[in-house]
Structure 1
Amino acid sequence: MDLPKLAIAALGGTVSMQACNAGEGVIPTVSGETLLASVPELTTLARVTVETLGLLPSASLDFGFLLSALSWANAQIMQGAAGIVITQGTDTLEETATFFDYLWDHDEPLVLTGAMRSANQAGADGPANLLDACRVALAENSRQRGVQVVMNGQIHSANAVRKTDSLALQAFSSPIVGPAGLLMENTVNYPHLPVQRRVLPLPQLTTQKIAFLEASLGADTLLLENILELGYDGLVIAGFGAGHVSGEWAAAIETIARKIPVIVATRTGSGSTAQSTYGFIGSEMDLIRKGASMAGFLCPRKTRILLWLLIGCQQQDELARFLVQN
């Protein structure tokens, strides 16, 4: 039987990390080729090609690098790959998945994975996560689902997945909706059919800057008051509760929203912003009147990525179509 083609890219992260000397912290040193060699079973599932595109901690990834990785993935699909797997660090995995998902216009799966334990640590989870990710990428029922994250036997949609623990093995979850699927006895299982996705064209602009601020008790307005002068093209605020800020912040936001897009999300980690519940100064109703948009269920970090992409492809007028309200 002719095996399908599977393309794997390594970007770095904990899955590629080990300590070079005893007592030192782990750093990215393990190539994609070496990681692949730790999972010999893959050769029975697909004709695998692997490339090491980088050995970076995921905090050092940026949009330009991700666009180049996306270009590589697109080329692999054009060359007949049935699916794509990318390994990277978990610190920004939820953001990378979101970035790719807004731009991934293929039926073939793009699956991201990583590890919570370094390559030479007892019980390293990297090889198992890689094998699971490859199974998901090769599964027929994974088609038309866009970008997904596979960790610890669970499959998460890019728009829902969050890293909710700093060090635990079970670090990823999808608040409210739960995992999109599970791996059970080496079989990929989804309880629901794929849903229609909105995909953006590749950004033509890449120099836009989106500010990100979190509301906190007693916070001053100094940064807010200088957002426009600093040259930002958009602003995302992680607001209190259902999308609230102080009265002082609300006044500053009104001025900013006359010039650039302002989106308010919830900092809580789960749930949606409101639209028409609270009416006090700094509430969601007040901020909407002042020109801000509410992010709905989209978390603040994912909201910032969406706004960067919308401005980059000059579709910021389509913002409301991408924000799911309660």
Structure 2
Amino acid sequence: MTLPTLAIGTLGGTLSMLQAAAGEGVTPGLDSTQMLADAPQLASLARISAKTLQMLPSASLSFIQLIDVLYWAKAQVEEGAHAVVLTQGTDTLEEVAYFLELLWPFDAPLILTGAMRAASEPGADGPANLLAAVQVALDSQSRGRGVLVVINDQIHAAEHVRKTESLAMAAFSSPHFGCEGLLIEGRACYLKPARPRHPLPEPWRLDQRVALLEADFAADTLLLEQVAGLGYEGLVIAGFGAGHVPAAWAKCVGYIVTRMPVIVASRTGSGPTARHTYGFEGGEMDLQRKGALMAGFLCPRKCRVLLWVLIGCGMDDELEHWLEEYRQPR
């Protein structure tokens, strides 16, 4: 039997980290070849080509580096790979997955995974998560589902997944929506049908900047007042509750929306913004009258990614349309 072809790209993260000496913190150390050696079962599943793309903690990844990762992943599929798996740190796994989801044009699966325990720790979960990611990537049911996050034997949609625990092994969930499926005895068991996808064209601009600010109790407006003059082309506000800000912030928003798009999302970690409930100054009805857009179920971090990509594609005039997709559960 001819084995399928699969490409694995490694970016670093906890899955690659080792402790050099007792008492020192872990740092990236395993390259792609060493990671494959720690999961020997992979050789029986596919003809695998692996490449070390980066060796970084995921907090240090950039949009420009991710564009390079996207080019590499696309080239693998165009050269015949059945699927692509990427490994990286969990700190920004949700943002990276969503970024790639917006731009991935193929039916071939693109699977991301990571680890919560370093490779040098007892019970390291990296090899098991890598094996699970490959098993999901090779499953025929994974085609047409875009970018998925596979971790802790759960399969999550890129647009819904969030890191909701800082150190726990079960660190990822998809609040309200739940995971897309489970890995059971080496096979992907999907709980939901695949949804239509509408990938965006690759950004032709890479120098745009989008700010993300969080509304806090008794926060002043000093930073907010400076945003429009600092070269930013978009603003995302992580608002209180269902998408609210202090009255003083609302006044600033009224000015900022004349200079750039403003999205207001919820900082709560779960649940959507409202649209027609609160009428006080700084409530969502007031912010919408001023020209701000409500994010619905899309979290603040992914709002920033979406706006960055749309500006880069010259399609920021379609922001309202994209956000409308996230105002109703899908």
TM-score (norm 1): 0.99
- Aligned partner of residue 310 in structure 1, secondary structure: helix
- Aligned partner of residue 282 in structure 1, secondary structure: coil
Distance 1:69 1:62 in 2: 11
- Aligned partner of residue 248 in structure 2, secondary structure: helix
2:2 maps to what in 1?
Answer: 2
Offset at residue 229 of structure 1 (A):
1.0
Distance 2:88 2:82 in 1: 20
Offset at residue 307 of structure 1 (A):
0.2
Distance 1:242 1:23 in 2: 44
Instruction: State the one-letter code of the partner of 2:307.
Output: L
1:246 maps to what in 2?
Answer: 246
Q: Which runs of 4+ in 1 moved over 4 A?
A: none
Alignment of 1:215-230 (within 5 A): 215-230=215-230
1:114 maps to what in 2?
Answer: 114
Deviations 1:234-278 (A, max 9, x none): 000000011000100000000000110000000000110011111
Alignment of 1:102-141 (within 5 A): 102-141=102-141
Structure 1 gap segments, 5+ residues each: none
Deviations 1:36-83 (A, max 9, x none): 011111111100000001110000000000000110000000010000
Maintained 8 Å contact 1:198/1:322: no
2:259 maps to what in 1?
Answer: 259
Deviations 1:267-315 (A, max 9, x none): 0001100111111110111000001000010000000000000000010
Deviations 1:132-153 (A, max 9, x none): 0000111100001000101100
1:268 maps to what in 2?
Answer: 268
Instruction: State the one-letter code of the partner of 2:23.
Output: G
Maintained 8 Å contact 1:6/1:83: yes
- Aligned partner of residue 188 in structure 2, secondary structure: strand
Alignment of 1:232-243 (within 5 A): 232-243=232-243
Deviations 1:187-243 (A, max 9, x none): 111022100122110001111110110001100000111111111100000000110
Distance 2:291 2:16 in 1: 45
Offset at residue 33 of structure 1 (A):
0.7
2:61 maps to what in 1?
Answer: 61
Distance 1:57 1:2 in 2: 36
2:143 maps to what in 1?
Answer: 143
Offset at residue 107 of structure 1 (A):
0.1
Alignment of 1:237-316 (within 5 A): 237-316=237-316
Maintained 8 Å contact 1:16/1:119: yes
- Aligned partner of residue 196 in structure 1, secondary structure: coil
2:327 maps to what in 1?
Answer: 325
Instruction: State the one-letter code of the partner of 1:227.
Output: V
Distance 2:320 2:226 in 1: 26
Offset at residue 321 of structure 1 (A):
2.0
- Aligned partner of residue 27 in structure 1, secondary structure: strand
Maintained 8 Å contact 1:148/1:156: yes
- Aligned partner of residue 226 in structure 1, secondary structure: helix
Offset at residue 23 of structure 1 (A):
1.3
Distance 1:320 1:228 in 2: 20
Distance 2:192 2:266 in 1: 27
Instruction: State the one-letter code of the partner of 1:295.
Output: A
Aligned-residue Cα RMSD (Å) equals: 0.6
Distance 1:172 1:277 in 2: 31
Structure 2 gap segments, 5+ residues each: none
Offset at residue 165 of structure 1 (A):
0.5
Distance 1:129 1:114 in 2: 7
Alignment of 1:83-98 (within 5 A): 83-98=83-98
1:49 maps to what in 2?
Answer: 49
* Aligned pairs, number: 326
Offset at residue 186 of structure 1 (A):
0.9
Distance 2:177 2:48 in 1: 33
